[in-house]
Each structure stands twice: as structure tokens, then as C-alpha cells.
């Protein structure tokens, strides 16, 4: 019941944030970040109305996604993708949100063409210099986007970012705004629509929605504190 109540509370906040920003709530999807969660917790979130799920690690997804194949949900990879895991990732996921380098694009295209599958992808952009975070720099995005667009089996749909954790969600706002500005200018330069902005987590998703998020990735606020 806890999970259902949490999801309901989040959806209410999504609607309110959309109201403040003059946006249509239909434009914003809640993705449940389900790392460390069990299949039964994931089923509960699905029953409560969550349609998108995100996993961080390919190995964990290999154990979990096949066990949940009866659920009509979308699986997103939201963690760093190592090149040697691409052969598994292309089979498991519907969307890869963390494309951040050309070598990864090459490997994805190779494996996807073998499978005969087209993958929806986002480019992960790193907006702060912290060395621990993955993602391409804002300066590299255009070149990487053009590289992705040239591949037959990749469909570029937007951008994703993991900003630094800052206590006050208002302090994260400039990062969300920056990702939207990068997206807007990229759309102009490339002349194609890039509808998705995946940004915002449990403690700052309302601000992210005010700045244009179409996918908010929420773990703790749905499932409670993570147990490792
Ligand atoms: C875990 C995770 C989230 C969700 O974080 P919470 O703070 O638990 O909501 C979102 N995005 C990514 C990439 C994550 O790894």
C-alpha cells in the first residue's frame, strides 16, 4: 500500500508542477528508478500506475527484466553503459538514456543491426565538472548527436542529465534550465525534434518539471530508502 500511496502523491505533485509551469501533465512521465528493488515491488508500482522503469546496471537488469516480462512497461537504462555490456543491453531495454561517447554508439549500432532492432536513445550530458559523473560535455553534444543520427538503428529522442545533489532543489534549477537550452539549440541546429528531457529525481523533480522535464526518474520517493 505504501508504494501505491507514494505514486499517487507524486502524480499529484506532477500535476501541480505542470500547473505552475503552464504545461500539460500528459507531457510528463514518472519513471520508477528500480535499482535494488525486487520484482514484487516493481509489480506494485506498475499496479499503482507507473509505466516506465529504469535500471542502472545491466547485470541486475539481466536478472530482473526477464522475470517481469509479462508487464507492459518500458524499460530504460539510466546508468553508465560499458561497451562490453552492450550485447546484453540491446536485448533488454526499450530506451538507452546514457549514450555519451562515439565508441558506445558504434558498438550499439553493430549489435542492433545484428538484432535487426531500432533503439530509442537519449544523450547523457554532464553539466558539472565532478569527475565521478558520466556524460558528454555540452561542447561535445552536437557532434555526438550528428554521429547518432547517422546510424540506422538508433533513434535520437532527447537528452538526459544527472546534476549534482544539492540540498535545496532551487539550487539545481540552473542545471535543468541549461539542459533544456542545450536541447532547444540542438533542435534548431539539427532541424529535428528532440522531445524528451529526462531530468529530476525524488528531491528535485518538481523544479525539473517547471524547467521542462518530460521524464522524471524517481526511486526513493516511490519505494522508500534503498537497501544495498
Ligand atoms: C537512483 C537514480 C535515480 C533516482 O534517485 P532517487 O533519489 O532515489 O529518486 C534517478 N536517476 C538515476 C540515474 C539514478 O541512478
Average pLDDT over residues 131-140: 89
Q: Phi and psi at residue 2, in whole multiples of 5°?
A: -55, -50
pLDDT digits (tens, 9 = 90+) for 159-175: 999 999 999 999 999 99
Ligand 1 binding pocket includes 217 (Cβ within 6 Å): yes
Question: Computed from CA positions of residues 23, 27, 28, 30, in that sequence, does the dihedral angle turn out positive or negative?
Answer: positive
The whole-angstrom separation of Cα 55 and Cα 93 is: 9
3 has pLDDT over 90:
yes
pLDDT at 223 over 90: yes
The percentage of residues in the chain with a pLDDT greater than 90, rounded to a whole number, is 94
Look at residue 129 in the predicted model and tell me its pLDDT.
Answer: 82
Model pTM? Answer: 0.97
Rounded Cα gap, residues 203 and 219, in angstroms: 10
41 burial via Cβ count (<10 Å: 0-12, 13-18, 19+): middle
Regarding the domain delimited by 2-223, which CATH topology (the fold level of the hierarchy) does it fall under? TIM Barrel (3.20.20)
Instruction: Indicate the pLDDT class of residue 132, thresholds 50, 70 and 90.
Output: confident
Mean pLDDT across the stretch 183-207?
A: 98
Average pLDDT estimate for 51-76: 97
Q: How far is the CA of 219 from the centre of ligand 1 (A)?
A: 5
What is the average pLDDT value for the chain, to the nearest integer? Answer: 96
Give the pLDDT mean for 41-65.
98
For residue 162 and ligand 1, the question of a CB distance below 6 A is answered with: yes
Atom of ligand 1 nearest to the CA of 98: 13
* 220 CA: nearest ligand 1 atom: 8
Amino acid at each position: 500500500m505504501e508504494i501505491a500511496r507514494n505514486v499517487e502523491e507524486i502524480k499529484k505533485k506532477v500535476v501541480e508542477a505542470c500547473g505552475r509551469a503552464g504545461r500539460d501533465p500528459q507531457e510528463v512521465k514518472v519513471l520508477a528508478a528500480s535499482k535494488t528493488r525486487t520484482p514484487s515491488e516493481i509489480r506494485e508500482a506498475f499496479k499503482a500506475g507507473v509505466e516506465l522503469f529504469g535500471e542502472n546496471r545491466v547485470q541486475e537488469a539481466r536478472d530482473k527484466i526477464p522475470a517481469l516480462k509479462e508487464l507492459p512497461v518500458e524499460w530504460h537504462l539510466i546508468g553508465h553503459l560499458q561497451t562490453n555490456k552492450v550485447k546484453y543491453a540491446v536485448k533488454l531495454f526499450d530506451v538507452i538514456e546514457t549514450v555519451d561517447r562515439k565508441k558506445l554508439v558504434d558498438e550499439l549500432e553493430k549489435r542492433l543491426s545484428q538484432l535487426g532492432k531500432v533503439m530509442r536513445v537519449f544523450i547523457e550530458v554532464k553539466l558539472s565538472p565532478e569527475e565521478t559523473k558520466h556524460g558528454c560535455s555540452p561542447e561535445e553534444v552536437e557532434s555526438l548527436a550528428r554521429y547518432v543520427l547517422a546510424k540506422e538503428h538508433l533513434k535520437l529522442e532527447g537528452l538526459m542529465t544527472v546534476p549534482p545533489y544539492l540540498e535545496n532543489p532551487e539550487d539545481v534549477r540552473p542545471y535543468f534550465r541549461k539542459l533544456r537550452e542545450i536541447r532547444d539549440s540542438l533542435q534548431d541546429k539539427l532541424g529535428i525534434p528532440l522531445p524528451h528531457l529526462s531530468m529530476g529525481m525524488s528531491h528535485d523533480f518538481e523544479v525539473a518539471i517547471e524547467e521542462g522535464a518530460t521524464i522524471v526518474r524517481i526511486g526513493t520517493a516511490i519505494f522508500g530508502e534503498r537497501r544495498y
